[in-house]
A and B are shown apart, each in its own frame.
Chain A
Amino acid sequence: MVVAGLVVLVGVLLAPAGSLLYESGGPEACANCHEMGRQVELWSGSAHQEVKCGACHGDALTMDARVHWTNARRVAEHWMGRIGEEPRLGEGQVLEMMSRCEGCHEQEFAAWQAGPHAATYERLFLDEKHNHTRHLMNDCLRCHGAHAEGAIGDVVAPLDTKGPWRLVREELRGQPAIPCMQCHAVHREGQVLGRKRLEAKMAGRQQETHRPGLGFYDRRSRAGVRAGLLRVPKMEDNGRVLRMSADGRQAVCYQCHAPLAGRQAGSGDDRTPKGVHEGLSCLACHEQHRGTTRASCATCHPRLSNCGRDVETMDTTFANAKSGHNVHWVACADCHAKGVPRRR
Chain B
Amino acid sequence: MKRRSFIAGTAAVGGAGCGRGEGPAPGYRVLTENEIRTLDAWCEALIPADDAPGASWAKVPRYIDIQLTRKFRRLLPRYREALAAMERWLAAAGVEGMAARLELMEQGKAPRELFADGGKDAFEMVLAHTLQGFYGSPRHGGNRDYVSWVLLGVAPVPVRGREQAETGKN
A residues contacting B by CB (< 8 A) are 31, 34-35, 37-38, 40-41, 83, 85-86, 132-135, 139, 160-162, 216, 218, 221-223, 225-226, 229-231, 233, 254-255, 258-261, 267-270
Contacts and interface: CB of A to CB of B under 8 A. Distances in A.
Interface stretch (B48-56, B79-87, B95-103, B149-157): B149-157
A31 B165 CA distance: 48
Contact of B157 (A85, A132, A133, A216): A216
Contacts of B70: 83, 85
B161 A132 contact: no
Nearest to B62: A38
21 contacts: A31-B27, A34-B24, A83-B29, A83-B69, A132-B170, A134-B164, A134-B166, A134-B167, A135-B165, A161-B170, A218-B157, A221-B138, A223-B138, A229-B156, A230-B157, A231-B159, A258-B161, A261-B161, A268-B161, A269-B164, A270-B161
Nearest to B166: A133
B29 A258 contact: no
A258 B27 contact: no
B159 to A, nearest CB: 5
Nearest to A252: B157
A35 B29 contact: yes
Contacts of B163: 260, 268
Most chain B beta carbons < 10 A, residue from A83, A86, A222, A261: A83
Contacts of A85: 70
Most chain A beta carbons < 10 A, residue from B28, B62, B146, B159: B159
B146 A225 contact: yes
B17 interface: no
Contacts of A38: 27, 62, 141
B74 interface: no
A267 B156 CA distance: 22
Contacts of B24: 34
Most chain B beta carbons < 10 A, residue from A37, A216, A261: A37
A230 to B, nearest CB: 6
Interface of B: 24, 26-30, 62, 66, 69-70, 137-139, 141, 145-146, 150, 155-157, 159-170
Contacts of A269: 161-162, 164
> Which 6 A-B pairs give the minimum distances between C-beta atoms?
A268-B161, A37-B27, A258-B161, A34-B29, A221-B139, A83-B69
B27 A34 contact: yes
Q: Do most interface residues of chain A lie in helix, strand or loop, or is the interface mixed?
A: loop
Contacts of B169: 132-133
Contacts of A225: 146, 156-157
B157 A37 contact: no
A175 to B, nearest CB: 23
Nearest to B160: A258
Contacts of A270: 161
Given A31-B27, A268-B163, A255 B157 contact: yes
Q: Do most interface residues of chain B lie in helix, strand or loop, or is the interface mixed?
A: loop
Contact of A229 (B69, B137, B146, B161): B146
Given A133-B167, A229-B146, 15 more contacts: A34-B28, A34-B30, A35-B66, A38-B141, A133-B166, A133-B169, A161-B167, A218-B156, A221-B138, A230-B157, A254-B159, A255-B157, A258-B160, A268-B164, A269-B161
A2 to B, nearest CB: 40
Contacts of B30: 34
A226 B150 CA distance: 13
Contacts of A31: 26-27
Contacts of B155: 230-231
A139 B66 CA distance: 30
A168 to B, nearest CB: 21
B170 A162 contact: yes
Contacts of B139: 221-223
A268 B162 contact: yes
A31 B26 CA distance: 8
Nearest to A40: B27
Contacts of A134: 164-167
Contacts of B159: 230-231, 233, 254-255, 258-259
A229 B150 contact: yes
A22 to B, nearest CB: 16
Contacts of A233: 159
Contacts of B146: 225, 229
A162 B159 CA distance: 30
Contacts of A222: 139
A263 to B, nearest CB: 8
B49 to A, nearest CB: 19
Contact of B145 (A34, A86, A162, A229): A229
